[in-house]
Structure 1
Amino acid sequence: MKIAQAQPGGSPDPYLENRRLLFATAYRMLGSVADAEDVLQDAWLNWNAADRSAVRNPRAYLVRTVTNLSVTRLTSARATREQYVGPWLPEPLLTSPDAAEETELADSVSTAVLVILETLAPVERAVFVLREVFGYSHAEIADILDRPEPTVRQIAHRARNHVQSRRPRYDTDPDRRARITTRFIEACAGGDLNAVMELLAPDVTCWSDGGGKVTAARRPLHGPDHVARWILGVLAKPQSAGVTFRQAVVNGELGILFTAGEVPVAALTYDLSEDGIRNLRLQVNPEKLTGLRPSGE
């Protein structure tokens, strides 16, 4: 679909001016690049059909549209995700090093936080994203969601406590993360089981999302020995098939990108604690890899 580049008279179209914000909102709401793009297309159709003369604040109008479309889509998606084959993980998004330097925004788009946001009800998730990520006031959120401000305050408090209670604090030292990632890649490339195990925390858990499309573990794997053996078994086949892996900033954190030529085939993200790598998340569902292309955002 072709989207106009400017409004009559040559002024920039507010939709295009705010597209990055709108995508960021929809992606954090949905945890899906494809769904976020669909919401943005629906928002543009809404905007294109709107009486622009009656819109006093285009940015607020567009954010409201995207947020409510996302709430509706997330509500309908929850039933589908309950039938999902194996663990459900958010779609990974290839982000720039600059984005990773913006600690607060990078944290809000991390795979770990997106997984936690999945446990919120759709409206709670909308309130949390608008309030905690983008700094909207309770009054502004109440207007966006058409809810009483006192209700929004209660929802915001409940959602913030929910997320904070489930968000463990991990090592965010970028230099240490870069060293660990390099050592992990080298150990995996060399098939060195002991070296891989040494990098894993004693309570490490690994989730893999194949969505029933490709081979993946249907249940979380626990413990260094089990996780290391499974990881090496998974990585041995791609290497023999010409798949390479390298460091990449995925969802605001340094992770590993797997490619066949220029085509992304998987992404691995993880949390790093004082005692090593924990909470490995491997996304291999081919339908959820569009955000790993440089033009995916």
Structure 2
Amino acid sequence: MAVMTRATDTEADDFMQLRPLLFSLAYRMTGSVADSEDILSEAYLRLRRAQQRCTPIDSLRTYLSAVVTRLSIDHLRSARIRRESYFGTWLPEPLVDATESEFNRVELADSLSMAFLVLLETLTPAERAAFLLHDVFEYDYPGIAVIVDKTESNCRQLVTRARRQIATRRPRFDAAKQQRDELARRFFAAVESGDMKPLIQMLSADVVAYGDGGGRGPSLPRPINGRDKVVRLLTAISEAIRQFDLHLEHAHVNGQPGALMKDEQGRLLNVFELDIFDGTVQVVRSVVNPDKLQHLAPLIGPDHPLRRGGPRVLPNRARTDPISRNPED
């Protein structure tokens, strides 16, 4: 039988030690850095109130995981309505060069990818919570039952349904990180220089490009499919880089190869992430929505042509590119 103790100031200090775990859980639940920070702040306040009431806490880790999970579930239920009316493709807020020690585990790094987080959007909030707690964070079913306030049997059913839902669409990545990074380096060098010939060879035949501008910058209302169309899109981006004196900085975005597009003052315009498998780029994602980037760096202001004009402000040769028209044309 577990020994029950009262929350103490020491346990409140331990919140900071648990913070990386709690943030990892909240972020994988919500896909939002800002919302995860808000959830952690509320969790800390609830811990302090529990201390003041001398509430018995068996395990601080379990207690805080439960608070963060339940707050995240509440957030997801309200966020679904907003995401249904979101302009174009919704992508998670990017995490750049995450250094948490847990990311050394391959399965945790892959579960941080944008591809995986988008896939989790197909689950109900309860399924998402149970699946993450069990398959990613390795909680046992009795612990999950306490956290999500359901029976162990219900938790097993939630995890089983979640696994079935994502099994056939779970993203795959090349295992060799060094090879992925080298391919990404050559990919972004080609985009920056405008040399499309080597870039074409790096793209899979069925490559897909997603752009999240939220209507506040160059946006793709729908994904762009196929090598030819994606090359035209990348050509437009390359021309914009040179026309507006931008550059690409290599980075790891959500655990995958990526890059940050910045101006000469170091202000950020957008973030790219690549899915690389079987030695080719399978997916290109771009997050331009400034609401999703403000936690990373100072941003290029709203008066910049690529911000002010939305998706139609691009170099002249790009006017026939899918980014400025219907991407399916």
- Per the TM superposition, whether the score is higher than 0.5 is yes
Distance 2:211 2:283 in 1: 11
Residue 164 in structure 1 maps to residue 167 in structure 2: yes
Q: Which residue of 2 aligns with 1:273?
A: 277
Shift of 1:175: 2.3
- Please tell me the residue identity of whatever aligns with 2:141: H
Q: Is the 8 A contact 2:130 2:144 kept in 1?
A: yes
TM, length-normalised to structure 1? 0.90
| Structure 1 runs not aligned, ≥5 long | 1-6
Q: Which residue of 2 aligns with 1:182?
A: 185
**Quick one: structure 1 residues 96 and 68, their matched pair in 2 at CA, closer, same or farther if it must change by over 3 Å?**
closer
Distance 2:179 2:268 in 1: 26
Shift of 1:200: 0.6
Distance 1:283 1:53 in 2: 43
Give the SS at the match of 1:255: strand
Q: Which residue of 2 aligns with 1:286?
A: 290
Q: Is the 8 A contact 2:12 2:48 kept in 1?
A: no
Distance 1:199 1:102 in 2: 27
Shift of 1:46: 1.3
1:36-185 alignment, distance < 5 Å: 36-50=36-50, 51-96=53-98, 101-185=104-188
Distance 2:184 2:9 in 1: 51
Match of 2:245 among 242, 246, 259: 242
Moved more, 38-47 or 65-74: 38-47
Give the SS at the match of 1:87: coil
**Per-residue CA shift, 1:175-202, capped at 9, x if unaligned?**
2212211211221122122222211100
Give the SS at the match of 2:58: coil
Q: Percent identity?
A: 39
Q: Is the 8 A contact 2:115 2:171 kept in 1?
A: no
**Quick one: structure 1 residues 9 and 77, their matched pair in 2 at CA, closer, same or farther if it must change by over 3 Å?**
closer
**Quick one: structure 1 residues 106 and 9, their matched pair in 2 at CA, closer, same or farther if it must change by over 3 Å?**
closer
- Please tell me the residue identity of whatever aligns with 1:244: H
CA RMSD of aligned residues (A): 2.1
TM, length-normalised to structure 2? 0.82
Shift of 1:8: 7.2
Give the SS at the match of 1:165: helix
Shift of 1:145: 0.9
Give the number of equivalent residue pairs.
288
Give the SS at the match of 1:109: coil
**Per-residue CA shift, 1:68-97, capped at 9, x if unaligned?**
000000110001000000000011101346
Please identify the structure whose Cα radius of gyration is greater. 2
Q: Is the 8 A contact 1:110 1:253 kept in 2?
A: yes
**Quick one: structure 1 residues 165 and 10, their matched pair in 2 at CA, closer, same or farther if it must change by over 3 Å?**
closer
